[in-house]
Structure 1
Amino acid sequence: MSAYGGYSKPAYGAQGGDDSGGFFAGGSQQGSQGGGGGGKSYQDESLRPVTIKQILDAEEAYAGADFKIDGSPVTQITFVGQVRNVNPQQTTITLKLDDGTGQIEVKKWIDGDRPDDALPTYEVDSQVRIWGRLKSFNKRHVGAHVIRPVSDPNEVNYHLLEAAYVHLYFTKGPLGGANGANGEGDSMFVDGGGYNDQAGGNASQANSKLSGCSAPAKKMFTFMNDTPGGNEGIHLNVITNSTGMSVRDVLTGADELLGQGLIYTTVDDETWAILEY
């Protein structure tokens, strides 16, 4: 299982992420459960930590093609930025973010099918982390799946170091590797895709995040952790039927676990898998 930037490849390797917040590749749903046919496969998805300058400089061979950064295809991205402007509307919220390397707009759609959803508020000059997909409709922007406030200022520094580390991997090869991107040996990168915390620090980080979660989120996470779901993950109906949790509790727990980076969506917005540390 490949990993880079501290995120294992199927980790946030959810299917796509268009502006509607669902994970779709190229604006059409990909990889439905048990489905066949062409299109981008689940294994082609990955999450890469980037800076806004890298987003703005990303190459697009033609409209609708995969973006490339450092010559490598980019599907989903994560970055940290400071809020410069907030434009809330009835069904969407648009933020202009600045990370010191550039500025870009981030758009997140509010799910109108969930009446309990409230339009989130973000303070100007606050820091947020984005998980989403790069878009070029009309102008280049990011369609966000998750927007999470940054409470620890060290996360900003950590992210910039992480983005630089992954950039060096793609441009210089893995640390200690003998054959560039395919090097092995004592490299911190594994499976040609990134780096992995071999000391087990990531597992401790997962436990620390889970300890601050609500009871429904912990119950959902425990069930998913004990139930192999494969790359396609576990659907909402399976979780409710197996645990006795209500649909509302599962959706609330899922939002919480997504925000903590403990799970990710796979074939649709109601199918999740655990981020493997």
Structure 2
Amino acid sequence: MGTPLCTTSYGAQGGADGGGFMPGSQGEGNAVAKRGYGSDNLRPVTIKQLLGAEHPNPDADYFMLDGNEMKQVTFVGQVRNISTQTTNVTYKLDDGTGTIEVKVWIDAEAMQNDEMDMGAGKKKPAEQGYARVWGRLKDFNNRRHVGATVIRPIEDPNEITYHLLEATVVHLHFTKGPLETQQANGGATNGHAAQQQITNGYSGGGGGGDSGDVLRMQGVSQMAKKMFACLKQTPQTNEGLHAQDIATRLGVEITEVKKASDELMGLGKVYTTVDDDTWALLDI
């Protein structure tokens, strides 16, 4: 029996024949390959991953991410700009890790049907609102964009956090291996030790009192370590902490906090939430 299609409460599942994107759902066996889908699965990503994915050659219809083929993708982001042209509508999306253009090509008949749907209450993405995209990454004239098959506004803010966590889980699956493999290789013991370090960081243990002990991050500035520890140890909502709040708690200038945030975002440790100066941890 093949692995069942993975679905979520936000409808972020693969196509009925293409397979889901969660770890373990890639290899449906020869039956899928015979239908011509193969690795044409749906993967949750961040914009930074899209911009950093490798393109094997100009004629390839896929990209490589974490050593695996990536064709169809889904991601979320805030709509910074909407530009309507004769042939397409271009959305500029920002998810805190980067920005990318999303193009929705206009079909006259589909547009007429869409206008009828709008009259029935169907919503479209709006500037400064959040949206989820399904589509394919494209590279045209050395500039990347996503050709969207679907783009819809996000109404539940939990979907944003859910997606970022899910993208992280899938990334770890491909870079660290499936959980079963890690356990078979003794990874469970190492994972327990790492979890204990995090627990010590929360409680102020771990010795030395240095905020860097939270994760013992190597090659990271002291300011970034302090900001990371502040975010981890301060009670907060899903929105995280604002730069001014962090600066006040640490007794530093807000410019130092923003510099540290750039460092942590580059490491994939934090992401922006309600605005560009409010961060939450992307650490599970």
| TM score, norm. by length of structure 1 | 0.51
Q: Where is the helix percentage greater, Structure 1 or Structure 2?
A: 2
Give the Å deviation of 1:40: 9.5
Matches within 5 A, 1:1-277: 1-2=2-3, 11=16, 13=18, 41-65=36-60, 66-114=62-110, 115-118=112-115, 121-138=124-141, 139-177=143-181
Work out the CA distance in 2 between the residues paired with 1:178 and 1:97. 36
Give the Å deviation of 1:108: 0.4
- Residue 56 of structure 1: SS of its match in structure 2? helix
Give the Å deviation of 1:5: 8.6
Amino acid across the alignment from 1:59: E
1:128-168 alpha-carbon deviations (Å, 9 max, x no partner):
00000000022210000000100000000000000000000
Amino acid across the alignment from 1:129: R
Q: How many pairs were matched up?
A: 158
Structure 2 runs not aligned, ≥5 long: 20-33, 185-284
CA contact (8 A) 1:52 1:101 kept: yes
| Identical positions, percent | 52
Give the Å deviation of 1:116: 2.8
Structure 1 runs not aligned, ≥5 long: 15-38, 181-277
1:196-232 alpha-carbon deviations (Å, 9 max, x no partner):
xxxxxxxxxxxxxxxxxxxxxxxxxxxxxxxxxxxxx
The CA RMSD over aligned residues, in Å, is 3.0
CA contact (8 A) 2:125 2:151 kept: no
Change (3 A) 1:11 1:68: farther
Q: Which has the higher contact order (CA 8 A, sep 6+)?
A: 1
CA contact (8 A) 1:58 1:69 kept: yes
Give the Å deviation of 1:12: 6.9
> For structure 1, which segment, 84-93 or 49-58, has the greater mean C-alpha deviation from structure 2 after superposition?
84-93
Work out the CA distance in 2 between the residues paired with 1:81 and 1:160. 10
Work out the CA distance in 1 between the residues paired with 2:54 and 2:155. 32
Work out the CA distance in 2 between the residues paired with 1:111 and 1:153. 31
CA contact (8 A) 2:126 2:153 kept: no
Work out the CA distance in 2 between the residues paired with 1:40 and 1:58. 27
Give the Å deviation of 1:10: 5.4
Please say which structure displays the higher CA radius of gyration.
2
Give the Å deviation of 1:13: 2.2
Change (3 A) 1:12 1:91: farther
| TM score, norm. by length of structure 2 | 0.50
Work out the CA distance in 1 between the residues paired with 2:174 and 2:16. 19
